[in-house]
Structure 1
Amino acid sequence: MELKGIHHVSALTANAKQNYDFYTTILGMRLVKKTINQDDPSVYHLFYADEAGNPGTDLTFFEIPHAGTTYQGTGSISGTSLRVPDDKALEFWESRFSEFDVDHDGIKEQYGRKIISFRDPERQRLMLVSDEANIGVKGGKTWVHSSVPADKGIIGLGPVKLTVKSAAPTTAILTEILTFKQTGSYPSIIDGQNEILVFSTGEGGTGAEVHIETRDDLPKERPGRGSVHHVAFRVDNEDELAKWKDRLVAARLPNSGLVDRFYFKSLYFREPNGILFELATDGPGFNTDEDDEHLGESLALPPLFEDRRKEIETNLKPLDTKRPHN
């Protein structure tokens, strides 16, 4: 049993329309699924990804219309990165961010890679990371109809950063329960001295890393719009997911048990610093109920919710995601 890398990251937005416009128009990602939060069907769950929503490329958002401000702190997923093909692509993005007034920090270097840290309109903490030297998990493929050129586009999720009060308990979960190994570290940009620890799983590389930052000077994060809800790691199939459940039970870690999310099967648990982890299967995928050409254009409901479609559609604020077809 070995986790294959990052599966998806799920964050919070207070405005689905603004969110959709930013991630599709400015970032050029494809909306591959417009569905509902299965734990609260009165709000949207939006999935942005590569051309087909391949595992490891999904950045998803729960819409919480009255979500308050995020007060940043520990016990949080404090950074989500998105992979681009090479260093040259970052030059394109630096210019694009300036053109569209996206708050960004310019091209810098981190852990031997070129990066650009930036924020979305709700102050979501994001980073573009170059795959110039990546030899680990392969990225996805940009959508042919993206607003961004194919050789510059976002090809998947990169490293996820966790900020914790104490690294040891989280490190123990990653290395003793999950299949991560510490593969490096780099100085924090906060003071240049505190080391951020790097852990990798599977084939490693940008698509399979968790970075841990220790901050004992911060309070616990109060999440709101622009915060991250959970990170999911890739499991090959449902049989293997059942074995992961057994491993968590044997370690006496409370967990959700197997949950059918229709597009994949899931298992949830919290590590000791309170961060929500999900293990999710690679399949069956987003073309289960929509063909590849029309992904994300209509409201997709898992079968469990289909008989409530009229009620659900009435409660949702309309969001036009239909694309003109020739």
Structure 2
Amino acid sequence: MPAFHHISLLTKDRQENLHFYTELLGLRFVKNTVNQENHRMLHYYYGDYQGAPGSVVTFFILPHLGHRYDHENFIATIGLKIPKNSLPYWQGRLEDYHVAYEKNERTLYFKDQDQVAICLTETDFAPLEPSHQVKNTIPGDKQILGLQSTQLHVAEPEKTRDFFERFLGWQTLDQRIWLNTTDFLEILPTETSEASRMGRGSADHIAFAVTDEAELDRLYQKAQTQGWHIEKMISRGCFKSLYIREPGGNRLEFATLTPGFTIDEPLETLGESFALPPFLADQRGEIERNLYPEYRKA
């Protein structure tokens, strides 16, 4: 079972974003939809062919998005894992696309067009199953397996560590919470009280996978009992989610594994049309009319 469910960030230019994550990284564009909190804003999802939990990176697209300021608290870094013996292929691919990178042992470090830090780490895992491989120019045995890591930057790491231990039973060792043999969450200290400001490349939240709604309900009740900052529990259509602010101020999501991206469109044509979850379907005309005008010009 995946430890991570997805990570969601902000971007300004949807075409650059689409090119980077589908053309360069080879992820599938699995969902073209709307931000459910702001129906003027598009929301793009990328993942493996199935859009499986643990493989997904999403972006909210704001045409007039400004510069981000990572100060007191923020989420940073998209850590991705790749199969055994695939690092040389990815090193050559980054060079072919003229993407500057650094290499340290089995990891390549580089940035996307919004200056989001990306780590591509070779593991000892086998390639994706054929049913999860994206139909593109990247060989199936070299394709990205899914999310591996991210970082929470906070002013008081001990309070964030306490949250994860009390709420989830996850212990921190040398600033890392190991979710399984390869995947981890880093909790790192910040050194300023200046407020962070969201902008291009900011991460809105990191989402962790929850088996089903019964488990999600249990987490909700536990969060209430322990007095954590619950933002909301809500159905997103493709999954049901619980949002909590950890003590450092970063947004965390706990999302169910089902029903998945095929709830509103067939697997074979995921991402090819503007999709809306069932509870927004009757608002399609209004939503499409009120999208940011920059989208309609494209």
Instruction: Report the TM-score when normalising by structure 1.
Output: 0.84
How far apart are residue 314 of structure 1 and its match?
Answer: 3.0
Q: Tell me, what secondary structure is at the counterpart of 1:263?
A: coil
Task: Look up the match of 1:108.
Answer: 104
* Residue pair 1:79, 1:162 contacting (<8 A) in 2 also: no
Task: Look up the match of 1:155.
Answer: 145
Percent of matched pairs sharing the same residue: 34
Distance 1:19 1:218 in 2: 31
How far apart are residue 62 of structure 1 and its match?
Answer: 0.5
How far apart are residue 117 of structure 1 and its match?
Answer: 1.2
In the alignment, structure 2 segments of 5+ residues that lack a partner are none
* Mapping of residues 219-298 of structure 1, within 5 Å: 219-298=194-273
Task: Look up the match of 1:78.
Answer: 76
* Residue pair 2:48, 2:134 contacting (<8 A) in 1 also: no
Task: Look up the match of 1:198.
Answer: 176
The partner residue of 2:21 within 8, 20, 23 is 23
The partner residue of 1:211 within 162, 186, 189 is 186
In the alignment, structure 1 segments of 5+ residues that lack a partner are 186-196, 321-326
* Structure with the larger helix share: 2
Change (3 A) 1:91 1:177: same
How far apart are residue 318 of structure 1 and its match?
Answer: 4.6
Q: Tell me, what secondary structure is at the counterpart of 2:229?
A: coil
* Residue pair 2:73, 2:190 contacting (<8 A) in 1 also: no
Deviations 1:172-191 (A, max 9, x none): 11111123223x43xxxxxx
Deviations 1:106-144 (A, max 9, x none): x213xxxx2111111111121111122x69xx9776534
Distance 1:140 1:266 in 2: 27
Deviations 1:239-295 (A, max 9, x none): 110110000000111213420000000000101110000110010101112111111
* Residue pair 1:238, 1:281 contacting (<8 A) in 2 also: yes
Distance 1:313 1:212 in 2: 40
How far apart are residue 220 of structure 1 and its match?
Answer: 4.1
* Residue pair 2:161, 2:171 contacting (<8 A) in 1 also: no
Deviations 1:43-82 (A, max 9, x none): 1111100110111111000111111111233411111111
Amino acid aligned to 1:95: G
Task: Look up the match of 2:50.
Answer: 52
Moved more, 214-223 or 56-65: 214-223
Q: Tell me, what secondary structure is at the counterpart of 1:181?
A: coil
Amino acid aligned to 2:177: F
Distance 2:141 2:25 in 1: 13
Distance 2:218 2:118 in 1: 33
Deviations 1:25-57 (A, max 9, x none): 111000111111000111111110011011111
Deviations 1:295-314 (A, max 9, x none): 11101101222122122223
How far apart are residue 92 of structure 1 and its match?
Answer: 1.4
Change (3 A) 1:4 1:147: closer
* Residue pair 2:229, 2:246 contacting (<8 A) in 1 also: no
Change (3 A) 1:229 1:7: same
Instruction: Report the TM-score when normalising by structure 2.
Output: 0.92
* Residue pair 2:231, 2:245 contacting (<8 A) in 1 also: no
Distance 2:28 2:54 in 1: 14
How far apart are residue 218 of structure 1 and its match?
Answer: 7.7
Amino acid aligned to 1:206: T
Change (3 A) 1:151 1:139: closer
Distance 2:205 2:279 in 1: 23
Deviations 1:171-228 (A, max 9, x none): 011111123223x43xxxxxxxxxxx11023xx0234x21112232584432201111
The partner residue of 1:119 within 104, 111, 123 is 111
The partner residue of 1:94 within 91, 95, 120 is 91
Amino acid aligned to 2:117: R
Alignment coverage as a number of residue pairs: 294
Change (3 A) 1:259 1:139: farther
Report whether the alignment pairs 1:128 with 2:120: yes
Report whether the alignment pairs 1:171 with 2:161: yes
Change (3 A) 1:223 1:303: same
Task: Please give the root-mean-square deviation of Cα atoms over the aligned residues, in Å.
Answer: 2.1
Change (3 A) 1:144 1:115: same
Change (3 A) 1:121 1:4: closer
